[in-house]
Structure 1
Amino acid sequence: MKQLKTEIIAVGTELLLGQIANTNAQWLSQQLASVGINVYHHLVVGDNLQRVETVFRQAHTRSDVVIVTGGLGPTDDDLTREAFQAMSSMDIEEHSPSMEKITAFFEKRGSTMTPNNRKQARVFRGATVLNNKTGMAPGMIVSFEGRTWVFLPGVPREMKNLASESVFPYLQGLLGEKQIIKSMVLKFVGIGESQLEHELYDLIQKQDNPTIAPLAQDSGVVIRLTARHSSEIEADKLLDVTKQKVEERLSSYMLGINEQTIEQQIMELLQSTGKNVSAAESLTGGMFADKLVSIPGASDTFKGSIVCYATNVKRDVLGVSQEVMKKNGTVSQACAEQMAEKVSNLLDSSYGISFTGVAGPRVVENQQPGTVFVSIYDRENNRHETREYHLLGDRDTVRHRATLKGLEFLYLYIKSTVE
């Protein structure tokens, strides 16, 4: 299959300053993948003529197709045309239909058109001009030295319309045949990225179609499988075959695919076993409960959470003994275990899970920031399981990661009792 090495360049200082997000590049990459076109580079460059020209020259040396968004407006800092002309020496001319459209726009509004608006109708001689139905500046497709350059407005609505109606069909014509790129994300818990990569080393080394890419994320480790084929059905078959090979080796760590979350899997496990869970949250302050109640039907399996941040709430509401807290501290395995057991009994749940620890920035009870205890109480078996974690990050990060660790711990515990 023919390949088109494609690059996306966004022009605009506002993107570099973080004033707006570069959603154009994200959307373009997603859409191009769906028609079998690989994007190899994303670049953002500010409104500076020399820097834009430098980026254009670099792209021209390595990509078959370069898609540029932004810099086609009427103001002095809209420099996309000027930068490409400096590189290519191509002539620029006024496109009469676009100029007529711009003039008509101002006449209809009854306002005076400033001279700089004529700039928006300027196009490269010989370019395929793309009619902008939702804005003023037209898009352009330009062939130069064996490369295809696509120029699109930076306004997302205008860019998407031009790309969908004109650019994608044009690029598919260059391919000669339709290609489909499909991806599948496999999610894992209880295994690190390095161990996962070790278990799949030979598959990764031999990868071709589909490709296998391990990725580490806050919520766990994932593998992205990406297949390419002219047929969507065949691309799906390629993904399924590789998924089965991965599952054969890592089934005990497999969580789900694509959009499936660990919260959903916990709820499904609880529903299938007719059990439920409640939480006692000190460190996490309700974050764990928030994760579970975001799942439709959570009331069937989640009894509730007691946020027991203060010591007296642990004692007076949960019923954690003063002796335990005095002897071991509130940031301890003993306190975590009592919290889990007490909330299970109070809320009449099959499992109780508790969170206590030090989010930071100060040391508490001689425990360093990031020290976290998560405990599970299995009421049916009168059994405690507790884990101690030492998490890195600022206060919010520690709380967030503690919540994720608790979800992972609970999922693996319930799963082990079912198997």
Structure 2
Amino acid sequence: MAETIKKYDALPYGRVENPRLARTVDEEPTNFPSRMKTRPHTPMPRQLKIRYVKVGPPLGSGMFGTVHKVIDVDSGKFMAVKIIEHKVSKQQPLYNVLKREVEALSRLGHPHIVNYIASQGWDEPQLEIFMGLKEGSLNSLIESGVDVSEVANSVFPQMLKALDFIACKGIVHRDVKPDNILFISQPEGQYQFHLGDFGLCNRIADAKTFAGTSIYMAPEMLHGGAQTHKVDVWSLFVTMLWILDAGGLRQKCNEFTHVSEVQRAVLFIASNPGPISSIREMAIINSVERASAAQMLVKHFDGAGLSTPRNQVPALIISPSATAKAPLSAPFNKKSRIPQRRPEKLRMHGNIFGNSRHKNPHKSRQIKPASQLQGILPKPTDQELDC
């Protein structure tokens, strides 16, 4: 066949070639390319910087930054922006805190956790973290004179859901307090609450440092114990005492001189009969026996809003020895399991802490003065209190 093709190549110009013998392969030698051919690399489009104008005075200050109400000039939407100055944001320990807050917010999408929008300026004089705009904090809401029982009945389940959600993500907030619980108004006088300011949060495996606001601090944080999601449960319990002013805690918090006095007062109030006693499992010194957010959701709300799978929520453990007169370091020997049934009253009426508009709120015993607590308190520490 090859010889035949060569003969046809020698034929005079113009002779028609037999189609069956037409050359179909280029027999010329070729060089393989040295690398694979790819499309030209083009840079990704840069994210446009958010342009905004501040509206009104600052809303408040969080950890290392000031929060402002702003309007996006391109979209017309209102937002909140936390602004951190260059000299703060560039310090390595504080930079890590800010980075931690942004990373935590960016992966936590939940109805009761403040919504993260964007951040910019990491290499500029001002670092800006944009979040959804809220109306104010729980602190400002209580100071406005609202019905505290109704607020407590709203805050409690919503914050339990938020804490259970971050616990499932392996995150400890470590600074749950009224200033870090934000709200927006809903129809018919209701409120939606959002847990914010994740600057102190850590993954459970890394949470070992001393952090948080002293009056809301769990015992294990003060004494250097392991910090799990149970520290946030203790802080929420103290927050509930603050909302309801149980035992006069809200007014008396400035009278305490040591964290140990606060913790003893918390246990003293928890031992009282009344609405607070229904959540006393959150105020057990031993964090292993302390209730989790998931357990409290099962007990009081039949598991509504759980992030933890229901079959992974253990039964509650009550330690009767966790009373105001027990030393903070006392072991917990007696244990009794209680069924995780929703109380009949709650199933019918949907409230735990009563409603002062319809009846007088339960009056719990007042906290003993600090001078009377000295005999049952552990030795004081030098830790200053921050109410």
Question: Shorter-chain TM-score: which interval?
Answer: under 0.3
Q: Which has the higher helix share?
A: 1
Greater Rg over alpha carbons, structure: 2
TM-score (structure 1 length as normaliser):
0.22
